[in-house]
Chain A
Amino acid sequence: MLEIIGLSQGYRRKPVVSELHIALGAGAFGLLGPNGAGKSTLLRTLATISAPGRPEQLRLFGEPLRTRKQLRAARRRIGYLPQSFSYPPGFTVTDFVRHCAWLRELPNAEIGRAAAEAVDRVELTEQADLPLRKLSGGMLRRAGIAQAICGEPDLIILDEPTNGLDPRQRVRLRQLLRDLSENSCVVLSTHLVEDISHVCARMGVLYEGRLRFDGTAEELAAMGTGTEGGDTALERGYTAALDAPPLVGPPAGDVAR
């Protein structure tokens, strides 16, 4: 579904992501890493917002994005929640999600049902007719998630989806992501190791633009030797992964379910 082959990405000649190799199918993939590691840049590239250095570095749904037609076809199948997103403040939650579905060219006949379902799945039904400017930070985040999952796209990319959510909402979001990953490829980034460990069968650690780890939660936990900082085995494994040498070469295979 998604294949990154030697992706390098940067801004103003400053490399942000270097020599990445990842291949993903249906399932959830969690991306961990400290601030400035290149997570958002990578997700933006996967979401086709930023073009890769060369078209062949990114293959989505089996083909590289060389033409506008290919790009457009790929975007129809992607749901993307940016770290922070622009929105017309007068739009209600429903209109916003419907509008985003229309932007992604969901068939007109399906937009109403898909938007209502997405709003319901993030538990914003009671706020569906409120303008976005009146929502709290957490509600706005959920509205963003709703637009990303509307119509259950094949590839769902969520950049820090749990930001601003209370613990109860985080738990419910995890369940939602587990459900979505049954049929879709869900890629999410976060600083919170525990969020990922409960949702993602496979995870990666990105540091200084290079992938330092790619495997399961158990494998990450096993990386820790006990001398690193962290309260749990997973945190210690994460800390150890940051010091690990960059992974090179193509991935071993698709995501393990």
Chain B
Amino acid sequence: MTGFRIELRRTPVRWWSIPLLAVALSMVLFVGDDWSVSWPRASAAITQADLLLMVAALGLTAQRVSGIHRGRNEEILASRDRSRLEFTSLAADVTWLVAVYLTMTGIVWALMWSRGVPGGPWLEYPVFGVCGVVFAAALGHTFGRLVPGRFTGVLAAVTGYLLFLVLFPSGESPLTASVGYQAIDVRLSGAHLGWRLALTTLTVLVAVGAVHLVSRDRRRPLTALIPAAAVLVGIAAMPSGSESPLVQPREASGRACADTGHGGEVCVWPEHAHRLSEATAAAERVGEAAAPVLPTTIAHREHGLDRGGVGGFTLDHGPGDTLATLAGEYVDRAIPYCADWQEEQWGAHSSLRLWLDARARGLGTLPDYNYQSLGASSDFREEVEETLARPEEEQRRHVRTWVETARAVTC
């Protein structure tokens, strides 16, 4: 521990820990959407600082290792295994960097606990983030050992930035620096996390063995070459591409449900239990708007809860989106899709969804919303807007014709 304690006290990385913590916390607290609505989003939010911390880890460790005065100088005689010495030095750097990460994570979790949000932290996200920082630090250590120079740190940081953004894009690669938006119905892929852990371990082995490639005492070059080859093979073989996403649908361990007052029901993920009343109120508004033309005993489910991840409403994108997705789900449940439908039925179904969304919002016209994403053409929009402009009774009559049209073909 003596060596570790000295390294810990003397590594220049320690001076960077406070500014890094400040910037990382700012990125998590002030950049992006409000993540404090649920533990899944809060857990994933800490990865917003991953790119910064990984690039910093790469640059700082590279600079620290290359900063040891060398030139034509010799290394001090050591009876300890050189790999162990490298490991001690890397461990000291990593300790400071991980301390930054864990402090930031602790602050985010403390905020969440203070707000009484149901559920608890998802540990795989800090593991994912810490793993990324260790991976980057090991990479930087190797870089600094192999390419020492005055600008090694900057060079390593720029290379790392490009590496993490281009070679390991978000949403696909286990080595990505960004998880992106965390929907409530998905969880980090265990396979990706496993690959990340394995590649990080191998990269640490490369880092601690790289000294054997450059020291005068080149007695054990394979110490670095074998894990380096394994890292390259691992990167080539790791899951990547759109068919192996970083996040996977998850199973619900439970649900929070409430009646809508019209015989219907609303269920949300347990982590959204505190937002159940919000969802129920929105569902009641949709139910009231639909009552004259559609049944009111609809069982609403939050997206991903049951039904294999298909359909459902969402709570994460604001009240407008919640109403729109509830209206869509309402129509989908009342008049299920049929493969035999013709354009007429599809049109009626889409019109119903648009109309119900507008009515639930209490608007006499269509809301400002991207209806193209719902598959609604401009023809349907015009027809729905015309219908919304009609008197109440006439409007209901017209909407019932859409219902009849859609139900005319059943499967």
Q: Give the segment of B64-72, B129-137, B153-161, B314-322 that binds chain A.
A: B64-72
Contact present for B79 and A84 (CB under 8 Å): no
CB-CB under 8 A from B73, the residues of chain A are 82, 84-86
B85 lies within 8 A of A103 (CB): yes
Kindly report which residue of chain A lies nearest to residue B7, judged by CB atoms: A99
Inter-chain contact B79/A104, CB cutoff 8 Å:
yes
A residues in contact with B9, CB < 8 Å: 95
With an 8 A cutoff between CB atoms, is B342 at the interface? Answer: no
| Contact (Cβ within 8 A) A103 B78 | yes
Confirm or deny: A49 has a beta carbon within 8 angstroms of a beta carbon on chain B: yes
Alpha-carbon distance A102/B217, docked complex (angstroms) = 19
State whether B6 touches A95 (Cβ < 8 A).
yes
B74 at the interface (CB under 8 A from A): yes
Query: Which A97-123 residues have C-beta < 8 A from chain B?
Result: 98-100, 102-105, 108, 111
Query: Closest chain A residue to B217 by CB distance?
Result: A49
Q: Tell me, rounded to whole Å, the shortest Cβ–Cβ distance linking B142 to chain A.
A: 18
Query: Do B69 and A86 touch (CB < 8 A)?
Result: yes
Query: Cβ of B12 and Cβ of A90 under 8 Å apart?
Result: yes
B residues 30-78 touching A (CB-CB < 8 Å): 67-78
**Complex Cα–Cα for A86 and B73 (A):** 5
B79's nearest neighbour on chain A, judged by CB, is A75
Closest residue on chain A to residue B72 by CB atoms: A84
CB interface residues, A 65-97, toward B, < 8 Å: 68, 72-76, 78-80, 82-92, 95
Look across to chain B and name the residue whose beta carbon is closest to the beta carbon of A111: B2
A83 touches B74 (CB 8 A): yes
Which B residues lie within 8 Å of A88 (CB)?
10, 67-69
Q: Is the CB of A102 within 8 A of B79?
A: no
A86 touches B2 (CB 8 A): no
| Residues of B contacting A: mostly | loop
In chain A between 1 and 43, which residues have their CB closer than 8 angstroms to a CB of chain B?
Answer: none
Partner of B79, one of A76, A98, A111, A147: A76
Complex Cα–Cα for A51 and B215 (A): 13
B219 within 8 Å of A by Cβ? Answer: yes
Q: B residues within 8 A CB of A49?
A: 74, 77, 216-217
A254 to B365, CA, bound (A): 107
Q: Would B79 and A103 count as touching, CB distance under 8 A?
A: yes
Question: Does A149 sit at the interface, judged by CB under 8 A?
Answer: no
B177 smallest CB distance to A (angstroms): 29
Q: Residue on A with the closest CB to B88?
A: A102
Say whether B80 contacts A105, CB under 8 Å: yes
* Size of the chain A interface, CB-CB below 8 angstroms: 37
- Residue with the highest number of chain A CB atoms closer than 10 Å, among B1, B72, B77, B217: B77
Residue in A51, A99, A105, A108 whose beta carbon sits within 8 Å of that of B219 in the complex? A51
Report yes or no: A105 in contact with B76, Cβ–Cβ below 8 A. Answer: no
Q: Check: B106 CB closer than 8 A to any chain A CB.
A: no
Asked if residues A75 and B77 are in contact (CB atoms below 8 Å), the reply is yes
Q: Nearest residue in A to B64 (C-beta to C-beta)? A: A88
Q: Which residues of B contact A89 (CB under 8 A)?
A: 67-69
User: How far is the CB of B399 from the nearest CB of chain A, in Å?
Assistant: 76
Cross-chain contact A98 with B216 (CB below 8 angstroms): no
**Interface members, chain B 1-33 (any A CB < 8 Å):** 1-3, 6-7, 9-12
| Chain B residues within 8 Å of A92, by CB | 10
The answer, among A47, A73, A108, for a CB contact under 8 Å with B77, is A47
CA distance A47 to B76 in the complex (A): 10
How near does chain A come to B86, taking the closest CB pair, in angstroms?
12
Q: How far is the CA of A74 from the CA of B78 in the complex (A)?
A: 10
CA distance A104 to B6 in the complex (A): 15
- A86/B74 in contact, CB under 8 A: yes
Residues of A with C-beta under 8 A to B7: 99
**Which single residue of chain B is at the shortest CB-CB distance from A103?**
B78
Complex-state Cα separation, A88 to B219, whole angstroms: 24
Query: Which among A51, A83, A85, A103 is the interface contact of B80 at CB below 8 angstroms?
Result: A103
Beyond A82-B74, A95-B10, 12 additional contacts (C-beta under 8 Å) are: A44-B216, A48-B77, A49-B216, A50-B217, A72-B80, A84-B71, A86-B74, A95-B9, A99-B3, A103-B78, A104-B78, A147-B76
Q: Which residues of B contact A (CB under 8 A)?
A: 1-3, 6-7, 9-12, 67-81, 85, 216-217, 219
A–B pairs, 14, beta carbons within 8 Å: A49-B216, A50-B216, A72-B81, A75-B78, A82-B76, A84-B72, A84-B73, A85-B73, A86-B69, A88-B67, A98-B6, A100-B76, A108-B2, A147-B76
